[in-house]
Structure 1
Amino acid sequence: MLTLSHSIDIDAPADRVWAVFTDTGSYPEWNPFMTKVEGDLITGSRLAVTIVPPGGRPNSFRPTVTTVEPERRLRWLGRLLLPGIVDGAHSFELEPLSPGTTRFTQSERFSGLLVPLLRGMLRSAEAGFAEMNTALAARAESRPA
């Protein structure tokens, strides 16, 4: 198993951060890591996601949304081919720190037979989390209250 995580404190309330984060149609304008997310952000739906790890090639996959709690968390589960080969449980958490500050944490827990062999490639996603989180903060902080 391998877990990756990156957190950032954003000078914006959780509702504004959530609004920017869930406006997936605007991702090509600002998100350097997750360049495409298509589909409904509702539990049970399948998404079409494209990520571009820093210095890497685009990678597309079709995760299933497992949890949606507005202004708190979104989770999905992606798989390589079949369950147990490489499973990625991705989580986005929003934690209000004060009325105008939110901690945004993006993490992923990889499990499955091929994780030990793909550890280096999977680790490259962590830098992408940092890039995306920084860009999300800049966009949320620049939006009017």
Structure 2
Amino acid sequence: MDDAKIEKRVGVQATSDRLWELVSDLSRWNIWNPYETDVEGAIAFGGQLEMTEAFPGQPQRRVTARVAEWRPYVRLVWTENRGFLFRSLRYIDIEELDKGRCIVSSAHKFAGLRGELFHDKHRIALRDAHQAIVDRLKAEAEA
């Protein structure tokens, strides 16, 4: 499934605490994430997240996803079964190198035949969107 993965990473001059504060405050995602907005729900194992998704080249849609994994200050993972032969996994990772220096990642993984075809069709736009997400998260964390 690695062929159907898009991930962007950026170095951030901020603590993992600061980055997690931004990621875990779902009501404020609109500030740093222009593609997944109006986020509601609970970051908990098996928790549900609802958001408006509007990635470039795709129609805006309301998403209901399940929190698959989370670890405070480190990772948030959510999944969505998008229909027959189409599953997606999204994550934001925070890797603290030293106090006040981190790498943050934003990624999509697609599974199933339709998921892989979707990846192939939208790969470039999604790459650019994930770059914008990490760049804006960096700017907000360093502000």
TM-score range, shorter chain: 0.7 to 0.9
| Aligned residue in 2 for 1:90 | 90
Alignment of 1:1-145 (within 5 A): 1=1, 2-54=4-56, 56-82=58-84, 85-118=85-118, 119-121=120-122, 123-142=124-143
Secondary structure in structure 1 of the residue aligned to 2:113: coil
**Contact 1:52–1:128, Cα closer than 8 Å, also in 2:** no
AA in 2 matched with 1:24 = L
Post-superposition shift, 1:16? 0.4
The 2-side partners of 1:29 and 1:78 are apart by: 23
- The number of aligned residues is 140
RMSD: 1.7
Looking at structure 2, the residues matched to 101 and 14 of structure 1 have their Cα atoms a distance apart, in angstroms, of: 8
C-alpha distance in 2, partners of 1:49/1:122? Answer: 21
In structure 2, stretches of 5+ residues that fail to align are: none
Taking structure 2 as the reference length, the TM-score comes to 0.88
Query: 1: distance between equivalents of 2:79 and 2:41?
Result: 14
- Cα distance in 2 for partners of 1:61, 1:8 equals 26
Alignment-mate amino acid for residue 137 of structure 1: K
* Distance in 2 between residues matched to 1:133 and 1:44, nearest whole Å: 25
Percent identity of the aligned residues? Answer: 24
Q: Find the aligned partners of 1:46 and 1:120 in 2 and give their Cα distance.
A: 28
Helix, strand or coil for the counterpart of 2:73?
A: coil
CA contact (8 A) 1:34 1:132 kept: no
| CA spacing shift, 1:80–1:68, aligned 2, 3 Å | same
**Secondary structure of 2:135's match?**
helix
